[in-house]
């Protein structure tokens, strides 16, 4: 089965997946704060499994195969149509309330009124009073920017944690990548709806898998990466690939933190970045690949998968794991030619902790690898020091092949000053290359040492004459 067959399945399920117009291409013409990345064009590879499962919380979770269980699919979609029409009037009021909640936080410059408080966070946790799905934590930002004829549209996917501790994945949008529109609940899209009642295009887009008890992600999901890949198999559009890690009930006890659970990587696809379908991987649990053997360095889990499209038939997944024997985190890599069948790069990590006494001697994690030029690989990563336990910084390593890395002498971005919103550390970096060889760096900020999730998303930009020196972007955020 080919990915184009999956896309045809999407078209067959038009009641679930809303057709979207041709997507604007990324821009490289604006100076300083605009992306320079170009769209990757490649033919869709083969999918060995070929099974997709609807990932969106508001869509029916039908299981569809290339051979098709048409009676089951038709029954599911017909049932969805009935629910769809009855829900439209029932939820119209709630959708209006949610649209009101998408009003962006107002940001002003330094001359704003004294009622504003100084902060460098451009995105914070949601409203606990409205029981938002991201009221407790927001972390792992993945940011993309696309320019149309008249404007630039930014999209940010992120990991969200509710007040009850449930992990999910959310989506926010922006016109400048700094001020974001958000929602407290799920995205809602309706076909043939009037413009004023078309739904909400920001909010929660992915949740745990509560349909298939045997899968690896039945208890929670956390974002790894999102890639938009063009294809001649799709008329006038592209497919979003979301890589994430999930964990199940058997991997941790109730009340145990997600970061102590056994996590595995997963994949889902979308045509609009909002409505997602899981793709069943090679592992028996549905994961793309498994953790290491019992004594392996990555036996405890595979988390924070980030993807690099390194060349034709060369897709690389960089991920983090904690060695159970040493308690220190390292970075590993897996490669694939088609996006579905993965092979780990050797039996050891590709990048481990630094020497004793260095700023990253306690562990490295959350890699984000980009290409700056044709021959240079740049990896942004979390660094932990034994001299300052539990406080992460962000550092940058370089490589000529993406596997053998040169370690820096010092971090590029450190935790905020005492009292700052990110005083507990900075982590899970996501780099957006800009015009003029500059980089905009999105990261999560943590409130206290030892926190595994952020309380907000910050932005730093590389210095004009030193791309490895970063300056936080400070702004004033008007309090509600």
- Integer Cα distance of 398 and 378 in angstroms: 5
In the 8-state DSSP scheme, what is residue 35? B
- Integer Cα distance of 319 and 264 in angstroms: 10
Tokens 């919103």 sit at which residue? 421
Q: Which residues are bridge partners to 226 per DSSP?
A: 242
Q: Which residues are bridge partners to 4 per DSSP?
A: none
Measured over the CA atoms of residue 413, residue 417, residue 420 and residue 425, the dihedral's sign is positive
Q: Are 321 and 348 in contact (CB under 8 A)?
A: no
Q: Are 275 and 189 in contact (CB under 8 A)?
A: yes
Q: Are 433 and 425 in contact (CB under 8 A)?
A: no
Q: Half-sphere exposure of residue 282, counting CA atoms within 13 Å on the CB side?
A: 13
- How far from each other are the two terminal CA atoms of the chain, in whole angstroms? 51
Q: Which residues contact 240 (CB under 8 A, 6 or more apart)?
A: 226, 227, 228, 269, 270, 271, 272, 273, 276
- Integer Cα distance of 321 and 329 in angstroms: 5
Q: How confident is the model at residue 80 (pLDDT cuts 50, 70, 90)?
A: very low
Task: Say whether pLDDT at 56 is over 60.
Answer: no
User: How many Cβ atoms are within 10 Å of 325's Cβ, its own excluded?
Assistant: 11
Q: Which residues contact 250 (CB under 8 A, 6 or more apart)?
A: none
Per DSSP bridges, beta strands 199-200 and 188-189 are antiparallel
Instruction: Supply the pLDDT for residue 9.
Output: 41
Phi, psi angles (nearest 5°) of residue 148: -95, -165
Task: Say whether pLDDT at 83 is over 60.
Answer: no
Q: What is the pLDDT of residues 216-264, one digit of tens each?
A: 999 999 999 999 876 654 545 679 999 999 998 665 544 444 556 789 9
Q: What is the pLDDT of residues 355-408, one digit of tens each?
A: 999 999 999 999 999 987 778 899 999 999 999 999 999 999 999 999 999 999
Q: How confident is the model at residue 199 (pLDDT cuts 50, 70, 90)?
A: low
Q: What is the pLDDT of residues 133-158, one digit of tens each?
A: 999 999 999 999 988 778 889 999 99
- Integer Cα distance of 16 and 158 in angstroms: 23
> Residue 198 has which token pair?
């078309």
| Long-range contact pairs involving 150-158 (C-beta distance under 8 Å, separation at least 24) | 151/175, 152/27, 152/30, 152/34, 152/176, 153/24, 155/273, 156/123, 156/180, 156/442, 156/457, 157/205, 157/223, 157/226, 157/242, 157/273, 158/123, 158/134, 158/223, 158/457
- Integer Cα distance of 5 and 471 in angstroms: 46
The residue with greater pLDDT, 56 or 144, is: 144
User: How many Cβ atoms are within 10 Å of 263's Cβ, its own excluded?
Assistant: 31
* Core vs surface per residue 98-134: b (16+ CB within 10 A) or e: bbebbebbebeeeeeeeebeebbbbbbbbeeeeebbb
Strand segments (E) across 337-455: 343-344, 363-371, 377-384, 392-399, 405-406, 425-433, 439-446
Task: Say whether pLDDT at 323 is over 60.
Answer: yes
- Can you give the length of the chain in residues? 480
Strand segments (E) across 271-375: 277-279, 303-311, 314-322, 329-336, 343-344, 363-371
Q: What is the pLDDT of residues 259-306, one digit of tens each?
A: 567 899 999 999 999 999 999 999 999 999 999 998 999 999 999 999
Q: How confident is the model at residue 31 (pLDDT cuts 50, 70, 90)?
A: very low
Instruction: Supply the pLDDT for residue 216.
Output: 94
Tokens 């995105």 sit at which residue? 123
- Integer Cα distance of 398 and 373 in angstroms: 12
Q: Which residues are bridge partners to 234 per DSSP?
A: none
Tokens 């089951």 sit at which residue? 72
Q: Are 316 and 308 in contact (CB under 8 A)?
A: yes
Rounded to the nearest integer, the mean pLDDT of the chain is 76
Task: Say whether pLDDT at 340 is over 50.
Answer: yes
Q: At what angle do helices 70-90 and 92-100 cross, to 10 degrees?
A: 70
- Integer Cα distance of 307 and 305 in angstroms: 7
Instruction: Supply the pLDDT for residue 16.
Output: 30
Task: Say whether pLDDT at 47 is over 70.
Answer: no
């Amino acid at each position: 089965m080919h990915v184009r067959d999956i896309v045809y399945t999407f078209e067959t399920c038009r009641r679930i997946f809303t057709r979207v117009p041709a997507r604007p291409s990324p821009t490289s013409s604006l100076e300083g704060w605009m992306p320079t990345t170009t769209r990757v064009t490649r033919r869709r590879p083969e999918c060995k499994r070929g099974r997709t499962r609807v990932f969106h919380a508001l869509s029916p979770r039908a299981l569809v195969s290339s051979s098709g269980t048409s009676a089951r699919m038709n029954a599911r979609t017909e049932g969805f149509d009935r629910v769809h029409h009855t829900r439209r009037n029932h939820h119209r009021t709630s959708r209006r309330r949610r649209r009101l909640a998408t009003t962006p936080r107002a940001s002003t410059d330094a001359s704003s009124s004294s009622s504003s408080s100084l902060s460098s966070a451009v995105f914070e946790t949601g409203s606990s009073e409205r029981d938002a799905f991201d009221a407790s934590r927001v972390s792992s930002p993945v940011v993309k920017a696309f320019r149309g004829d008249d404007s630039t549209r930014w999209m940010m996917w992120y990991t969200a944690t509710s007040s009850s501790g449930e992990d999910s994945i959310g989506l926010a949008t922006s016109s400048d990548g700094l001020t974001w529109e958000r929602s407290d609940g799920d995205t809602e899209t309706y076909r043939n709806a009037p413009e004023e009642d078309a739904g909400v295009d920001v909010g929660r887009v992915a949740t745990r898998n509560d349909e298939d008890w045997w899968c690896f992600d039945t208890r929670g999901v956390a974002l790894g990466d999102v890639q938009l890949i063009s294809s001649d198999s799709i008329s006038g559009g592209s497919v979003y690939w979301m890589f994430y890690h999930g964990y199940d009930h058997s991997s941790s006890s109730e009340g145990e933190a997600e970061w102590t659970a056994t996590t595995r990587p997963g994949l889902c696809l979308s045509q609009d970045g909002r409505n997602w379908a899981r793709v069943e991987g090679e592992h028996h649990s549905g994961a793309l690949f498994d953790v290491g053997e019992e004594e392996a360095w990555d036996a405890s889990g595979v988390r924070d998968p980030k993807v690099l499209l390194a060349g034709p038939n060369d897709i690389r997944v960089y991920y983090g794991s904690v060695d159970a024997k040493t308690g220190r985190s390292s970075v590993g890599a897996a490669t694939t030619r088609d996006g579905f069948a993965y092979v780990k790069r050797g039996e050891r990590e590709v990048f481990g902790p630094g020497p004793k006494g260095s700023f990253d001697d306690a562990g490295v994690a959350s890699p984000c690898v980009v290409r700056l030029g044709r021959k240079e690989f740049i990896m942004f990563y979390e660094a932990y020091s034994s001299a300052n336990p539990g406080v992460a910084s962000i550092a940058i390593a370089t490589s000529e092949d993406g596997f053998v890395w040169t370690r820096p002498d010092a971090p590029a971005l450190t935790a905020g000053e005492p009292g700052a919103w990110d005083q507990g550390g900075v982590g899970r970096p996501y780099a957006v290359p800009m015009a003029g060889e500059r980089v905009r760096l999105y990261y999560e900020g943590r409130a206290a040492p030892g926190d595994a999730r952020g309380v907000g998303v910050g932005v730093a930009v590389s210095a004009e004459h030193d791309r490895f020196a970063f300056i936080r972007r400070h702004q004033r955020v008007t309090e509600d």
